[in-house]
Structure 1
Amino acid sequence: MVAALYPSYFHDNLAGFADALRPAAWDPATVPMRRLIEPASLSERLACFSAAHDTYEPRAAASQWSKWFFSRLGIATLVAQLGSGRALPLTLDGLALASRDDGTPAYFRLADTPGTAHAGHDLSALIDEVFTPVVNALSAHCRLAPRVFWSNASTYIAWALDELDRQAQAPRAPRIAVRDLLSRRDRPDGGFNPFYRAYKRCPPGTMDGDGRPVDQCRRLCCMRDLDARWDLCANCPRAMRFPVLERASG
């Protein structure tokens, strides 16, 4: 049985992330996060991903790999923090990553410490201590703008919060605090807020890339279609089909 941190907080569509956070332990399958973002190590990981998925355009590969990283760690962190009411002590030196055979993140090991009480809504450590150096490393590796990676990260945070609201499992007050964060350009301390407005509104009658009616889409394209291996995502702004408005006659 997998020894996961906070598994009881993951339900329904979030259940697949219950094993993404595991307690620190000797684990030959993991690589310290600080080592992972070193140029040689990151290049090796992305090369493994590219070969496994037959995608060799470096910007497309990096963007697509980042979605696995941001979803596994970001969603798991949000759910665990809102469920426990504590901010996890996330740092590059305190995290280790285990990957699947294709190079995508499988789980993270971190110290099983209590964290900061009554601060489950505070995502500062996730943003500043982990996501920011990872975004910078990915951007330097492939010369893709940081805002593309931040857009990838923010869409998963927004999706997970929507799920938590739908399930009403986590306490309401911290969910509201995170919802407020997603609507503000700056964080409460004045710091950069990369999760601001992950989505933009679409006019009535808009259809997404799968032909389904939608009222919102991603704010930015992830650029994965730079490689012919990948089509546009269904919720990509470039995939939206907007209604044709008839001109008034007379």
Structure 2
Amino acid sequence: MIPALAAFFPRKLAGIAESLVLEDDPRPHVPGAALLDRDRLRQVLGAFSASYAEPDAQAVATQWSKWHFSQFLPPVLIANIAGDWLLPTAIDRIGIVLSPDSRTLAIRLPGEGARLPVSGVQRFSPLVEDHLAPLIAAISRASGLPAKTLWSNAGNVAETIASECAAFLGEAHPGVADARALLAARLWPDGRRNELFEPVRYREGRRRRRICCLRYRMASLALCKSCPLDKVPPRGRHGGEEQPGTAE
């Protein structure tokens, strides 16, 4: 674990921080900025698609993004929420350690970070503007996957981490309250659309995503456990239908 983060992680969540490393990590890595190049990103997604018997380009992209967000967002958000700590996660400053099949294994940071300079929902602005927004735009360009699906994938992870933090810090904790406020706000304070608005909803005791991730388009994958759909659409495996599960 990066030394500066040790105080922020409860014992049961400490392993989550292992996906963040510093520049002395010896493993080969891809510069984050390279993933903003459409051709280079398509190479990464193409290598990842070899894991599936019948890869669908958009389903491959959604699965790759979900894996990346699940490695990247939990430690970054826990540090932010629990420790008021801002990590240097701008996509053009980091490196990404990939597995042999091109999954994100670790994020190589240029430094240990510093105390957050702001509070409120703005505490999450650097993460959203400097990492999520450019990477999501790049994945959407490279794959044709709607950006709203990718934002939903990120929001799904963010909501899970906010709930985990609430479980050990309490809902009244300032960082938890700010995270809840971000996910409940349609707009940023400056009036911009908040792409992370309400990624999941709870209905009749069941947690459901607001927007389907489209992973079902590959025959080898079932609906995810928080899917807004009850069954795979008849034409879902080969595209052509309107994206389901997008109710406002």
TM-score when normalising by structure 1: 0.82
Give the partner amino acid of 1:157.
Answer: A
Q: Which moved more, 1:230-239 or 1:109-118?
A: 109-118
Deviation at 1:123, TM superposition (A): 1.1
Deviation at 1:225, TM superposition (A): 0.8
Counterpart position of 1:167? 168
Deviation at 1:28, TM superposition (A): 4.8
In the alignment, is residue 224 of structure 1 matched against residue 224 of structure 2?
A: no
Q: Find the aligned partners of 1:128 and 1:150 in 2 and give their Cα distance.
A: 12
Does the 8 Å CA contact 1:161/1:175 hold for their aligned counterparts? yes
RMSD: 2.3
Unaligned ranges ≥5, structure 1:
205-213, 241-250
Map 1:25-104 to 2 at 5 A: 25=24, 27-104=26-103
Does the 8 Å CA contact 1:86/1:118 hold for their aligned counterparts? no
Does the 8 Å CA contact 1:5/1:19 hold for their aligned counterparts? no
Counterpart position of 2:186? 185
Identity %: 26
- CA deviation map 1:160-212 (0-9, x unaligned): 0100111228981121111111111112333332221011232x3xxxxxxxx
In the alignment, is residue 198 of structure 1 matched against residue 199 of structure 2?
A: yes
Q: 1:22 to 1:144 in 2, by over 3 A?
A: same
Unaligned ranges ≥5, structure 2:
232-248
Q: Find the aligned partners of 2:137 and 2:56 in 1 and give their Cα distance.
A: 19
- CA deviation map 1:198-247 (0-9, x unaligned): 11232x3xxxxxxxxx333110110011111211112101038xxxxxxx
Deviation at 1:116, TM superposition (A): 4.6
- CA deviation map 1:103-146 (0-9, x unaligned): 11111111225435353661111111111111111111121110
Helix, strand or coil: the match of 1:230? coil
Counterpart position of 2:144? 143
Helix, strand or coil: the match of 1:191? coil
Q: Find the aligned partners of 2:116 and 2:86 in 1 and give their Cα distance.
A: 7
Q: 1:50 to 1:114 in 2, by over 3 A?
A: closer
Deviation at 1:12, TM superposition (A): 5.7
Q: 1:99 to 1:169 in 2, by over 3 A?
A: farther
Q: 1:96 to 1:60 in 2, by over 3 A?
A: same
How many correspondences in the alignment?
229
In the alignment, is residue 238 of structure 1 matched against residue 229 of structure 2?
A: yes
Does the 8 Å CA contact 1:3/1:22 hold for their aligned counterparts? yes
Does the 8 Å CA contact 2:88/2:111 hold for their aligned counterparts? no
Q: 1:4 to 1:86 in 2, by over 3 A?
A: closer
Q: Find the aligned partners of 2:173 and 2:63 in 1 and give their Cα distance.
A: 32
Q: Find the aligned partners of 2:148 and 2:137 in 1 and give their Cα distance.
A: 10
Give the partner amino acid of 2:103.
Answer: T
Q: Find the aligned partners of 2:116 and 2:138 in 1 and give their Cα distance.
A: 31
Q: Which moved more, 1:44-53 or 1:7-16?
A: 7-16
Give the partner amino acid of 1:29.
Answer: P
Does the 8 Å CA contact 1:185/1:192 hold for their aligned counterparts? yes
